[in-house]
């Protein structure tokens, strides 16, 4: 049964298929990348592999919510590109059978290009990211 890791960006709930997340690590200082887009926080040496760490709030151009201290990085291993995503606490994992409904996320907004589906769980609307699409697009960007 698929499981989704939930996290918040601003006031919105997001999720990632937990099978795509290799590890969640404590935040450590990142190495800056000169002339990188503002949504690239830096790079992380993760067990000898370099992961590009993204700030999805900036990437999706979300309105600023309450200031939160980043405490974790979700590391996503993919043959094409290792990526990290900044996360705030708390993090929750749900099974898809806990959802009550599912709807598609079609729109012209940039962030919706990377929303694979939208689910409802315990009264919360959750945007589930299409990490494969994001990695495919970003891998071409950094080549």
pLDDT score of 7? 92
pLDDT score of 103? 47
pLDDT score of 80? 82
- Spatial separation of the C-alpha atoms in residues 32 and 44, rounded to whole Å: 9
pLDDT score of 97? 65
Q: How many helices (H) and strands (E) does the chain have?
A: 2, 11
Rg, the chain, Cα only:
15
pLDDT score of 111? 63
Chain segment 93-122, per-residue pLDDT in tens:
888 765 555 445 454 455 678 888 888 888
- Spatial separation of the C-alpha atoms in residues 115 and 113, rounded to whole Å: 6
pLDDT score of 89? 67
pTM above 0.85, yes or no: no
Query: Residue 115 pairs with which residues in a beta bridge?
Result: 129
pLDDT score of 37? 92
For the chain (143 residues), the mean pLDDT of every run of 10, in chain order, is: 86 90 92 93 92 91 74 88 85 73 49 82 87 84 62
pLDDT score of 54? 94
């Amino acid at each position: 049964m698929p499981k989704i890791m939930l996290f918040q960006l601003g006031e919105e709930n997001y999720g990632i298929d937990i099978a795509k997340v290799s590890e969640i690590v404590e935040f450590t200082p990142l190495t800056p990348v000169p002339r990188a887009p503002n949504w690239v926080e830096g790079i992380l040496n993760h067990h000898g592999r370099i992961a590009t760490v993204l700030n999805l709030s900036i990437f999706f151009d979300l309105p600023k919510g309450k200031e939160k201290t980043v405490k974790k990085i979700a590391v996503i291993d993919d043959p094409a590109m290792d990526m990290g995503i900044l996360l705030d606490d708390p993090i929750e994992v749900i099974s898809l059978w806990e959802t009550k409904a599912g709807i598609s996320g079609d729109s012209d907004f940039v962030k919706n290009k990377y929303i694979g589906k939208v689910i409802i769980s315990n009264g919360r609307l959750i945007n589930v990211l299409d990490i494969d699409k994001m990695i495919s697009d970003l891998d071409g960007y950094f080549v």
